[in-house]
Amino acid sequence: MTTTTPLYTGGRHAAGRPALDAPAAAQAPQAPPAVEVRRSTATRGRADIIIIIGAAVAALSLAALLTARMIPTSSLVVFVVIAYLAFLVLYGLLVSLEDDGRTVLDRLASVVVHSLAGFAMLALVFIVVFTFFRGSQALGHFNFFTSDMQQAGPLDPLTVGGILHAAAGTLIEITIALLIVVPLGLTCAVFLNETRGAFARVVRTVAEAMTALPSIVAGLFILASVVLALGLARSGLAAALAIGVMMLPIVIRASDVVLRLVPGSLKEASYAMGAPQWRTVWHVILPTARSGLTTSVLLATARGIGETSPVLITAGFGSGLNFNPLSGPMVSLPLITFVFSGSPANTMIARGFGAAAVLLALVLVLFALARVFGGRQAGELTARVQRRRAQESLRDLERFNSRNRAPVQMGSPDG
């Protein structure tokens, strides 16, 4: 009943309204209401898909004909370039048979944008896959992770030698760099947000300009200041400092942006409760922005861990395991990748790709961590943190209640 009267859906009240329902029921058999067909609002129809397929087939055939018969080349790259250009022309031609010039432009722009984006994504995926594919040769040997290169010459097979010293060096260097960069960078970011005036503006401008500091210049700077002027030998510490100089502006800039997103009302609430500035920063601003700050530090770490040129200039090169950042050369994963891949021996190149794969895996893990821990808006909490906050708040309530009751209970025996 109710389905045939779309205007009045009064199923529950139908019994009380026989007069209204009866004529509707009587009319129903005479003129069944037309079933409304949902209008398609899709911008692409079947004809468009056929046109795309047709243009693609024609373009591929044309390119095959041209590269096979006319242009003396057998390169896949040239084939793809010709096929792509032919596709654009043919597709435009086919669309123009039915639509006006504006539509043709629109469709062509859409194809170009889609293909550019697809090409870029494909390139990224391919670079990652290629590195792991070529690296798998070395990664298959367990000793690759557990030994250094002291016993292995350039012509030794992959069953001898490994990159343990480089992995250890990378971890030591990035740890030292983080120990310097995180406190200094975050404090500086807080400074930029908490202070007004010309000085803060100058610091912000300089820090922003330095985000694009060429990494080799960071290495040169440490070479000039720490190695040549202060007399520290080329070592892990010098490399860590060079990486730190490069990471510092990145951390400052990213944290500055994140801290700026902390709602002003939270700060004002804290000040209104009488909290001093340092308590406001420590208990309100930093926890609110924790997610974003974590992301900025992790992303800067991912950048710093992969830097080759500052390390190339400042770390020196050795083949043994060295845990002391103050003396002796300390190699890192990117540096060993660079040096090995320049070698003419095939096993060394394989080791270079293996080191690159390990480095890339490290970067991917850091990146994934940054997305897991971070990526939330300032003040947005995870379910776990929200539960914890609720429990803390409950405990506070009980504490307050017991305090309020306490004087009464203590006073009652006397009274």
Residues 10-69 that bind another protein (CB under 8 A): none
Rounded Cα distance between 161 and 412, Å, is 80
* Two structure tokens written together for 270: 């804290």
**C-beta closer to another protein: residue 162 or 340:** 340
Interaction between residue 356 and another protein (CB under 8 A): yes
| Phi, psi for 377 (deg, rounded to 5) | -65, 160
**Residue with smaller CB distance to another protein, 22 or 80:** 80
In whole angstroms, the minimum distance from the beta carbon of 82 to another protein comes to 10
169 touches 318 (CB < 8 A): no
**Which one of 2-10, 144-152, 361-369, 402-410 is the stretch in contact with another protein (CB under 8 A)?**
361-369
Q: What gap in Å lies between CA 328 and CA 338, rounded to an integer?
A: 20
Task: Retrieve residue 236's tokens.
Answer: 């892990």
Which of 28/217 has CB closer to another protein?
Answer: 217
Q: How far is the CB of 316 from another protein (least distance, A)?
A: 10
Angle at which helices 164-194 and 236-260 pack, to 10 degrees?
40
Nearest to 212 by CA among 184, 242, 246, 185: 246
Contact status: 190 vs another protein (CB under 8 A):
yes
Site string for another protein, 279-298 (x = CB under 8 A): --x-----------------
Task: Count interface residues toward another protein (CB under 8 A).
Answer: 101
Amino acid at 139: L
Q: Footprint of another protein on residues 130-189 (CB under 8 A)?
A: 130-131, 134, 184-185, 187-188
User: What does the angle CA 27 – CA 30 – CA 31 come to, to the nearest 5 degrees?
Assistant: 85
How far is the C-alpha of 78 from the C-alpha of 12, rounded, in Å?
Answer: 71
| 229 lies in the binding site for another protein (CB under 8 A) | yes
Q: In this structure, how many other beta carbons lie within 10 angstroms of the beta carbon of residue 21?
A: 18
- Region of 120-128, 139-147, 266-274, 401-409 interacting with another protein (CB under 8 A): 120-128
By C-alpha distance, which of 340, 293, 354 is closest to 144?
354
Q: Can you tell me which of 98, 106, 380, 396 binds another protein, judged by CB under 8 A?
A: 106
Interacting residues with another protein between 325 and 354 (CB under 8 A): 334, 337-338, 341-342, 349, 352-353
Report the 3 state secondary structure along 56-117: HHHHHHHHHHHHHHHCCCCCHHHHHHHHHHHHHHHHHHHHHHHCCHHHHHHHHHHHHHHHHH
**One residue of 194, 266, 286, 379 binding another protein per CB under 8 A:** 194
Give the one residue of 31, 77, 97, 198 binding another protein; rule: CB under 8 A. 77
For position 73 contacting another protein by CB under 8 A, the verdict is yes
- Nearest-approach distance from CB 145 to another protein, in angstroms: 19
Of 18-26, 101-109, 160-168, 284-292, which part binds another protein (CB under 8 A)?
A: 101-109
